[in-house]
Amino acid sequence: MKTEAQGDERRRFHRVGFHADALLKLSADTLSVEILDISLAGALIKVDPAVTLEQGSQASLIVRLSEEVQIKMTGDLLSHGHGNYALHRILREPENDNHLRRLLELNLGDPKLMERDIQTLIEEYQRSA
């Protein structure tokens, strides 16, 4: 899997290419979407180009990893053009974090990258508290 480890230095979290189908739950609808990449901070998703989502609206992204295991991210949607949206994660749930962390660890390939991301997450939490 491709990582953005050396790419954009502005990024605080490493992203991994993770192509999977998922559900995007909005206040009134549930849409099928495709995940393009994922990180501790959120995900980049592809939505049917005929669908326009409201910038800044809150949504939940649900990714099924198996029959028993799913990752749920809740956050704000930001448009990236061409049917792509970023879900900026704002709600943290410990069980989801464990599954997401494991997925990222397996795809990053370097435990130090994951440790750095977790430290960044802790620092952001402390600044916002």
Distances in Å between the Cα of 72 and the Cα atoms of 27, 31, 65, 97 are 15, 14, 11, 9
Domain-located, residue 6: no
Q: Say how many domains are in the chain.
A: 1
- Is 108 within a domain? yes
Query: On the CB side of 5, how many CA atoms lie within 13 Å of its CA?
Result: 14
Q: What is the pLDDT of residues 24-71, one digit of tens each?
A: 999 989 999 999 999 999 999 999 989 989 999 999 999 999 999 999
What pTM was estimated for this model as a whole?
A: 0.83
**60 lies in which domain range?**
16-128
CATH number of the domain to which 47 belongs: 2.40.10.220
Q: Is residue 4 part of a domain?
A: no
Contact between 59 and 32 (Cβ < 8 Å): no
Report if residue 9 sits inside a domain: no
Q: Identify whether 115 is part of a domain.
A: yes
| Residue-wise pLDDT tens digits, 87-106 | 998 877 777 888 998 899 99
